[in-house]
C-alpha cells in the first residue's frame, strides 16, 4: 500500500488536473486481491476518467516457498505478474502514450519497447534515496567486501553521507538474493525516459541539486528528474472506530497528543513493544497507540496482509496497561485514519516508522516526528529528517543493543511534546507545510514539473 497510494494519487491528478484517461494497473496476490479492491474503493474517490485494472494473481508459491516475505518474493511476484498480463492489457488499451512504472517494475521494458510506449518511473521514496540508488552500481563496482564494513560512511556524490549502519538491510549482504534483485532494479533506473519523484525542492534541495547538476549524475546519464510531490492521500472514509478516535482527539488540548503508528507492515518484537508502551506511560503524555501483535521474526510481519485480522491489544500488551492509560492514552488495534489524525489540531507529534508516505503526510500537516525506522530505506529517511530536514528526533540506540529502552523512549517523547527543541521542530514542520501547499498550487514548482511532463506527452515527446 505504501507504493499503491502515491501511484493512485498521481493517477487522480492526471485525470482531474490534466484531463487524461488513466488505466491504473494493480498487481495482486490471491491473498491481497480482495484487500486491494477494498482499500482502493474505500480510501479514495476514483474519478470517472480513471480505470482500475486488477492484474490476475499469479501462483508463484513453488518459487517462494522457502523465501521469507520480503524483497525477493515481491520481485518474483511482480516479474511473473507483468510477464503474464502486461502485454494483453496494453494491447487492449487505445494507444497508451506512456507507462509509469514502480521502481520494481522493470519487466515492463521489453513489452513497451516492442509497442513503442515510453516508460517513466514514479520513485515513491525520497530523492536522497533515489540518489543512492543511482549511485549503487558505481559503489558496487568500486567496493571490495561488504558496504557495512566500510571504514566510513557512503559518500553519494553531492549528498549527505550515509552511515553504514543506516543502509537498508537489502544491501548488507551482496551475495544475497535480496541484494541481487535490488541491484537489478536500481541499476535499470537510467533506462527510463524520466523519473517522477514524490518530493519537492524545499524539502530536499541538496539531493535535487545533486541529481540535476552534479557531474557524476550528469555522466551516468541520469534521466530527467521531475519532483511532483507531495502527493498524499487527501481524505479517507472514517469508520465507526475512526470516529471514536477523532471524538477522543476532540477532547484533548491543541498539540498535546502523540500519534504512534508504524505503517501498514511494521511489527515490533515482544521485548520492544513492552519497552515502547512503558516508555509512553513514563512520559505522562497523551497518546494514540495503533497497536499490532508483536512478531519476533520480522519487522515487516504484516506487509503482505495489512487490513487483515485484528487481535485484541489486551491479549499481548502488558497486563493492566490499557486500563491504567484510560483518559491518557487511547489504544486501537491495527489501524487508525492516519491522515485525519495528523490533520487534527490536538495532534502534536508523530512516532513514525518513516515510510515516505507517512513522512509526507506528517510534514504536510506540520507535525514533527520521532523516528522509528523498521525496514527498507527507513533508516536513511530517519537520518535525513533529523539531520538535514530538521523535523524529527531519533532515539539513541545503545551500542550492541537492538531494543530501545523505556527511559530513552520517555526522553524523546517529552522532548518533542513539551521541550524547547520540540517547538523548533514544530516550527520547521509548519514552514514545510506551507511550502508544500505552494508547490502543488497552480504555478508552484511541483505543479509545473508535472505539467511539463504532461505537455511533452501531448506533443508526442519525452519530457526533458
320: left (phi over 0), alpha (psi -120 to 50) or beta: left
CA distances from 152 to 145, 163, 244, 387, 461 (A): 14, 7, 49, 17, 43
- Cα separation, 88 vs 444, in Å, equals 38
Secondary structure (H, E, C), 347-382? EEEEEECCCHHHHHHHHHCCCCEEECCCCCCHHHHH
- Cα separation, 160 vs 207, in Å, equals 8
Q: What single-letter DSSP state applies at residue 132? A: H
Is 102 catalytic? The answer is yes
Q: What is the phi/psi pair of residue 346, to 5°?
A: -80, -15
* Sign of the CA dihedral running 406, 412, 414, 417: negative
- Cα separation, 27 vs 37, in Å, equals 11
CA angle, 12 then 15 then 17, to 5°: 95
Query: Strands 286-291 and 369-371, how do they pair?
Result: unpaired
Residue of 51, 59, 80, 102 marked active site: 102
Q: Length of the chain in residues, anyone?
A: 464
Is 226 catalytic? The answer is no
Nearest to 238 by CA among 335, 307, 329, 158: 335
- Cα separation, 341 vs 359, in Å, equals 14
The catalytic residue positions are: 3, 102
Amino acid at each position: 500500500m505504501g507504493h499503491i497510494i502515491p501511484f493512485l494519487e498521481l493517477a487522480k491528478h492526471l485525470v482531474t488536473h490534466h484531463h487524461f484517461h488513466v488505466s491504473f494497473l494493480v498487481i495482486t496476490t490471491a491473498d491481497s486481491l480482495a484487500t486491494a479492491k477494498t482499500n482502493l474503493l474505500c480510501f479514495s474517490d476514483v474519478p470517472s476518467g480513471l480505470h482500475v485494472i486488477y492484474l490476475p494473481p499469479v501462483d508463484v508459491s513453488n518459487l517462494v516457498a522457502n523465501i521469507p516475505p520480503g524483497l525477493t518474493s515481491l520481485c518474483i511476484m511482480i516479474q511473473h505478474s507483468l510477464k503474464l498480463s502486461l502485454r494483453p492489457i496494453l494491447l487492449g488499451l487505445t494507444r497508451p502514450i506512456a507507462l509509469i512504472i514502480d521502481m520494481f517494475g522493470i519487466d515492463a521494458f521489453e513489452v513497451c519497447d516492442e509497442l513503442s510506449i515510453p516508460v517513466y518511473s514514479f520513485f515513491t521514496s525520497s530523492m536522497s534515496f533515489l540518489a543512492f540508488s543511482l549511485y549503487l552500481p558505481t559503489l558496487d563496482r568500486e567496493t571490495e567486501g561488504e558496504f557495512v564494513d566500510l571504514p566510513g560512511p557512503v559518500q553519494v556524490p553531492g549528498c549527505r553521507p550515509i552511515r553504514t549502519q543506516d543502509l537498508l538491510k537489502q544491501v548488507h549482504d551482496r551475495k544475497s538474493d535480496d541484494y541481487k534483485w535490488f541491484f537489478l532494479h536500481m541499476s535499470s533506473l537510467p533506462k527510463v525516459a524520466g523519473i517522477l519523484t514524490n518530493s519537492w525542492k524545499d524539502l530536499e534541495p541538496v539531493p535535487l541539486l545533486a541529481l540535476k547538476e552534479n557531474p557524476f549524475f550528469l555522466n551516468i546519464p541520469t534521466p530527467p528528474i521531475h519532483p511532483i510531490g507531495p502527493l498524499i492521500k487527501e481524505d479517507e472514509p472514517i469508520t465507526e472506530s475512526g470516529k471514536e478516535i477523532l471524538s477522543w482527539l476532540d477532547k484533548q488540548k491543541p498539540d498535546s497528543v502523540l500519534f504512534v503508528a508504524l505503517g501498514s507492515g511494521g511489527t515490533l518484537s515482544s521485548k520492544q513493544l513492552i519497552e515502547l508502551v512503558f516508555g509512553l506511560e513514563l512520559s505522562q503524555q497523551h497518546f494514540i497507540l495503533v497497536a499490532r501483535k508483536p512478531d519476533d521474526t520480522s519487522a515487516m510481519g504484516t506487509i503482505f496482509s495489512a487490513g487483515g485480522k485484528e487481535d485484541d491489544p489486551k491479549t499481548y500488551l502488558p497486563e493492566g496497561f490499557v486500563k491504567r492509560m484510560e483518559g491518557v492514552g487511547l489504544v486501537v488495534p491495527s489501524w487508525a485514519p492516519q491522515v485525519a489524525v495528523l490533520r487534527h489540531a490536538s495532534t502534536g507529534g508523530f512516532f513514525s516508522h518513516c515510510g515516505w508516505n507517512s513522512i509526507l503526510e506528517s510534514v504536510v500537516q506540520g507535525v514533527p516526528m520521532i523516528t522509528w525506522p523498521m525496514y527498507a530505506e527507513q533508516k536513511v529517511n530517519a537520518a535525513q529528517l533529523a539531520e538535514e530536514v530538521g523535523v524529527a528526533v531519533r532515539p539513541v540506540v545503545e551500542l550492541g543493543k537492538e531494543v530501545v529502552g523505556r527511559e530513552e523512549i520517555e526522553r524523546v517523547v517529552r522532548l518533542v511534546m513539551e521541550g524547547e527543541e520540540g517547538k523548533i521542530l514544530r516550527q520547521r514542520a509548519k514552514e514545510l507545510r506551507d511550502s508544500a501547499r505552494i508547490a502543488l498550487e497552480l504555478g508552484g514548482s511541483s505543479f509545473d514539473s508535472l505539467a511539463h511532463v504532461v505537455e511533452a506527452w501531448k506533443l508526442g515527446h519525452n519530457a526533458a
